[in-house]
Amino acid sequence: MMTAPKLRLLSLGAGVQSTTLALMSAVGELPTLDGAIFADTGWEPATVYAHLDRLEQVLADADIPLYRVQQGNLREDTINAAHRYASIPYFIRNPHGSAGIGRRQCTSEYKLAPINRKVRELLGAKPPHFRRVPSRRVAEQWIGFSLDEIHRVSDKNRVSYVRNSYPLLDRAMDRKACQRWLRAHGWTSVAKSTCIGCPFHGNAQWRRLRDESPAEWADAVAFDAAIRKGSARGRPLNGEAFLHRSRIPLDRAPIDHVTAHEWSERQVDIFDLIEDGDPDGCSPYGCRSGASDEGRSA
Ligand code: SF4
């Protein structure tokens, strides 16, 4: 017989979809959550932290705790040789000129792992490591995939103590429906949750960062320069790493226009990705980056 879930938790990415789920629960349109878990990479834009602060208050009024979990600081860990780091999907130019993309480990290490640890803790695993969940304890975990993202649903990260649930799919809500719902409830803009210097940003995101958040733009530019030979720890790259897909330093990258190469790939979804980046932000549960390539040449 299947064990009934002991807890109902939300994996809160803090973007449009998971914010909709959190608020729907808070106002009683969905069952009451036992908690929402946000994994902080330590490198989110200020707008995301402001959004979380506001959301935390609304959830607290509905007796739903918002847990912020963190496993290091992605930015600092990457450029500090004394720290362990997880690979970021940089755009790589190899010495002989070929292009690659770095492996994406950051999401699982800085988001998925701390979320799972918190779930185990809430299910009764013992400190200090919270490794073992007592038998027959299971959590229902809401994931905010909307109807337009059904392709992101995957069993890849399934663990025995979590049963995934997709309330937006059950309600046939797509991203636009979520945005309409949020507007109707007074949430007119929701920042996209993503690291300040995530290589998945599209040109529009880079422009917004440059034009509206100069300090965060300067931070991303400095980080981009710092990772040219890869992360501080480990074997230096033979080639060079970049945050922008053009494989040009960020402060000179062509973020104001679409390049000829990009035009040549003008299938609609690729164009959208180049211009807008990942519309859904970074999800631990469904990677849109496609097949990765270590990009380290021998
Ligand atoms: S937002 Fe980008 S850099 Fe940050 S964890 Fe996700 S994939 Fe990695």
Beta strands in 219-285 (DSSP E): 240-242
For the chain, give the mean pLDDT.
Answer: 87
pLDDT band at 277 (very low <50, low <70, confident <90, very high): low
238-267 residue pLDDT tens:
899 999 999 999 999 999 976 555 555 444
Q: Which residue has the higher pLDDT, 154 or 168?
A: 168
> For residue 256, what pLDDT is reported?
92
> For residue 85, what pLDDT is reported?
73
Burial zone of 62 (CB within 10 Å; 0-12 exposed, 13-18 middle, 19+ buried):
middle
Asked if the model's pLDDT at residue 138 lies above 80, the reply is yes
> For residue 201, what pLDDT is reported?
93
Sheet with 139-142, strands from edge to edge, namely 66-69, 35-39, 7-11, 139-142, 162-165
Name which of 188, 182, 189 is nearest 29 in CA terms: 182
Ligand 1 nearest-atom number relative to CA 110: 5
> For residue 278, what pLDDT is reported?
58
Asked if the model's pLDDT at residue 227 lies above 80, the reply is yes
SS3 of 16-70: HHHHHHHHHHHCCCCCCCCEEEEECCCCCCHHHHHHHHHHHHHHHHCCCCEEEEC
- The verdict on domain 7-276 having CATH code 3.40.50 is yes
> For residue 158, what pLDDT is reported?
82
Query: Looking at ligand 1, which residue's alpha carbon is closest to its atom 5?
Result: 107
78 Cα to the center of ligand 1, angstroms: 12
Q: Which residues line ligand 1 (CB under 6 A)?
A: 41, 74, 88, 104, 106-107, 110, 194-195, 198, 200, 282
pLDDT band at 290 (very low <50, low <70, confident <90, very high): very low
User: What are the Cα distances from residue 147, in Å, to 172, 176, 237?
Assistant: 6, 10, 40
Q: Domain coordinates of the chain in residue numbers?
A: 7-276
276 Cα to the center of ligand 1, angstroms: 16
Name the packing angle between helices 268-276 and 203-212 (round to 10°). 20
Percent of the chain exceeding pLDDT 70 equals 86
Strand partners, 10: 36, 142
Q: Which residue has the higher pLDDT, 166 or 81?
A: 166
Which residues lie closer than 8 Å to 181 by C-beta, 6 or more apart? 20, 23, 24, 173
Q: Which residue has the higher pLDDT, 189 or 55?
A: 55
> For residue 259, what pLDDT is reported?
55
87 Cα to the center of ligand 1, angstroms: 10
> For residue 298, what pLDDT is reported?
24
> For residue 156, what pLDDT is reported?
72
> For residue 267, what pLDDT is reported?
46
> For residue 280, what pLDDT is reported?
53
- Is 92 strand, coil or helix? strand
> For residue 117, what pLDDT is reported?
97
> For residue 268, what pLDDT is reported?
42
184 Cα to the center of ligand 1, angstroms: 30
Query: Looking at ligand 1, which residue's alpha carbon is closest to its atom 2?
Result: 198
Average pLDDT of 120-131?
96
88 Cα to the center of ligand 1, angstroms: 7
CA distance 13 to 19: 8
With beta carbons less than 8 A apart as the criterion, state whether 195 and 41 touch: yes
- Is 154 strand, coil or helix? coil
> Given ligand 1 and candidates 91, 101, 194, which is best to mutate, with the most ligand atoms within 8 Å of its CB?
194
95 Cα to the center of ligand 1, angstroms: 25
